[in-house]
Structure 1
Amino acid sequence: MPTMKMKQKALRILRNNSLFVKMFLIMVISIVAVSLLITFSSIRMSSDLFMDTFSISNTKALEQIETRFEDYSFAIVSATNEVQNNGTIKKVLTQENESAIETSKSYHDISRQIERIYPTVESYDTNMIVLGENERLYNMNYSNWPVSWEVLRNHPITKRSIEQPNRLLYQFMPSTSFNDKPMIVATKALMERSTGEIYGVLYFPIREEDWKRLYEGYTSTENEVLLVNQDGKIVSSNKDEMIGDLEPELLALAEEVEEEQLDLKEVNLFETNYLLMSQYLPTYDLYLVNLVNKNAVLANLINTKEILLISLGIVLVAVVIVFIISRRMTNSISRLVKQISSMAKHDFNRPVAETGGYEAKKIANAFNSMLSELQEYVDLVVQAQQKQRTAELLALQHQINPHFLYNTLASVKFMVQQGKKEKATEMIHALISLLQNALSNVDQTITVEQEITDLKNYVLINQARYGDGIKVNFFVSPDCLDCQVPKLILQPFIENAFFHAFNEKKEGFVQILVSQKRGSLICEIVDNGDGMEMKGDYTKEDIKEKRHLFSGIGIRNVHERIQMIYGGQYGVEISSEKGEGTKVKVELPVQKLNASVKSNEITNI
């Protein structure tokens, strides 16, 4: 129960301060949205600035790494050229069937030549091996790569060198039983230029851990460097666990960056977002790839938590200021709302107090003016309703005349006595139908078709009583049959025609015409009876002023009913000429329950 009461109290407070709550929420949402936009824009701008700076700095770093590799390659090429052009080395590698003394001398000669050339690559911790087709092998650092002539001669790297004797190849060797660590070996077939005969192969093996020193100073936990060959194999990396892995996707990305000459490319590799830069090393036929862990670098560069805390502090201060200002702005409006609510429950005639700010005063003044006009309008409506009710009561009084019932029943009795049972039955049916419609709700409307049926019943009763000297014809346009009209709206005029239009003439006709003209429903009752003297036609506007001219039963009531229901532009118009007859025109709005369209031909019902 206490919880329910607290909820109801909270809801009541919210309802009483709905304007303040809405304004406050809109302002708070706007402030938060702007703060978030600025915060994330700042972070994004910082990221973009970092990427621009990174692109410039890492491009220079890659250029420096490339320079180091070119220096290393230059050293290898220099040593290779010296070996290729050294006659002593060539002689030793091509001689066969030497004696022990000659073999010893050859070994001494080639060792001196190799020792002279070796310092060119020794500074890079690179070994130097010369293999001859005469099964001779000279290894400058046997501990670096303890390999025999047979193993080396049949090794795939030797075969590839012999297949491409004009190229200096850099080949990757994974760790094996005779080389415990991965190696990169530069190989070159030694060939007699005049004959094209290969007499040996030159090797420059370097352990991968020594080779990576060329770029190791440019790497970190977030900044990785990899060398990828044309097979997609990683031949060197600052991450040892990746060496030897086959990564065709990485190769494809490196080729794309190189071909499209991109500074960098954002990629997703190894389930991590990286910034990738690539440089092709044609001497080595390798791709130098630089991968930077974007998220890790940005986390170190931008303190997102600090930025969010600052933004949160700004938002809280702004919310407090907005709360105070909004409360002051809406207090006067809230007081005005309470006055209006109290007035509606207790005293509708009491104006509200015009206090508070400028806006509240203007609203209160406008409300008081509206209240005054509304009160006047309510008075007019009450008067109009009273008049309408009076008119309806009068209509009810004139619907059924007791003398009409008495005379009708007397006529039925007389017909029965005369043996005219069928005619008496027909008359009773007509009376029943007429009474059923007349005694129902006076506010109810019926269709023109039903109204005409009631009129025909009324005419049948009167003709049975007084004879058929007065002929009645109905001409109704089919598109009017489903139009709605107040019930018995035409009956008073037919009654007037029967009892007042043929006092001098004993015979004649009454024509009832119903049609649509210019958006209105026009009902005309025309007779060729006695007529009466009138100074011109009496229109809807004249009837209120000259109501005493209509002595017929219910005619004034019909006119007032029409104007009460549909407005002053509708009603009854009468024109008459002594000795010629009378014409009554009833104008109503076209109202249908079923908007079906019928033929426009006039039908004699």
Structure 2
Amino acid sequence: MIKKLREHELLTKLLLILFIALFAQAATISLFIYHRSREAYIEQFDQSNRMTLQKIQHDFETLNDNIENTLTLLAESSAVEGYFKEGQQTTLEKINQLRTVQKMNDSLAPIFPNIKDDIFLFGENGRMFISNDMVSDLTADDFFQLELIQKVNANPTATQMVFTQFGLTKRDKHSPSVLFIKKLRSTLNQTYGYAVVAITSDELAKIFSQSVDPQITQIDFVTDDKKIFASNLAHRIGTTFDSFDQLNENETLTKANQRITRLPLYRQNSALVSEVNVHSIADQMGVILPIILYNIAILFLGGIVVYIYLNRNTKSIYQLVDSLKQIKEPVATSVPVQGTYEIRTLSTTINQLLTTISDNHTQSLQNEQKKRALEIQAMQAQIQPHFIYNTLTSLKFLVWQQENEKAVSGIDSFIDLLRSTIGNKNEIIPVEEELKSVKSYIAILTLRYGEAISTKIMVPEELYSLYMPNMIIQPIIENAYLHAFQLKKSGFITLYAMIREDTLTFEVVDTGDGYDTEQSPKNRDYFSGIGSKNVHERIQLLYGEDYGLHIDSVLGVGTSVTITLPIIKTPSKHP
């Protein structure tokens, strides 16, 4: 996978860049849409919330009016005054007055729809009245002993709202409640008791609990001393609203992620406080999932379109790259001209360059071949005079010894040798001709050195038809005669030939003095002659470094020179 990506690096990078661009564009548009939608939604929600708060404010005022009307009816009833005022009354009068109070209670309209309330009447004469079948948790005397009564008496207002952490019935004993208390005054303006409408905080919260979502909007009724006496979050009832003083009436304060609004609740010195969670509003919008799906769709569809387009337009580039990879040698070749204008221009230019490179390569090969031919001719020119000089020296030695017959025989062999070497202008000759020259040269050397050094040629006849460079073996035989027998005066020289590992191998083995192969060439004579050196270089120039001469020698035992050549069956195989 990584290799594939590397081979298509351009397409991968372009796709990655365009994908990032598409993602950035989609994200930017999405954020813009989200923020604009969020602002519009919050603004719309604010308007809706303002209307809801005004309705709650109105409902509370309606509730307060209904309570005030109920308490006023009770306070102005002569039956109530007669029953709860101190004085001498017969039992029958008490019963009649109680019945009248009961009938009046039964005729009272509900304080507010769906809100349960309890009406209590407490008289200083110790009597009390409950509007329903509930059992009071307090006697009249207990009620008058409450601390809140002292606060009510200290306030000249006729009707007051008081928040308590308890209810007045056995049922609501542990429930935070709101008490609407009205002083019962006689015609002489003397207080003889109290009329109370008791509503638990949970019941009072029904004014707004069904109108708002507590996950988004938190509604609190707060007294002037910062106490929360009703809320759509039950755990807040009875707690203190710490930031109440920071709020101005009929204004909205933005604090952290909350938008806090305060509206007055008239007549009771309390306030309606709304806290709206902006994050919850945004979540309620329901646009995040559509935006995510929109981005995924845009990236998917856009990615497909971009991939098809880029793949179509970069395909010609990769075909051009593949064509260039297949060009192993600078020979006459070309790459396909296709694709966009730029790619076609590039392909045309590459073809022109390939043509120029091919022409230059061909010219370089020709020049190199000429150079190599000149080098080989130079080496040959060095070998031949060297060989002629040594041969003539041997004939001179015979003449000096007055060995006329041997000298004549040597001259005949020398003539044959010249005819097969210098007279033959071919660089590559059959093995048979090379061996014929070697035999003529051995005959000349035998005339000089006698039979003390015996030479034997062991070459299979099936190798005679193969081809090899001329005058390759003669310098090795010459070295063996001239240098291998300095200490020893007799021995054997044997020439072997064979096919070994797809190469034509000649091996010249002598039983002469041998030498230390670790000795510096400057300090030894063997294989240091110009003829043998040039033979090795000629072979490598002709066939490469895989071919040439290799020497193994053991001091006092002898030397083996191995000549490695390619198998050439016809002269045309010559490079």
With normalisation by structure 2, the TM-score equals: 0.50
- Point out the structure with max Rg over C-alpha: 2
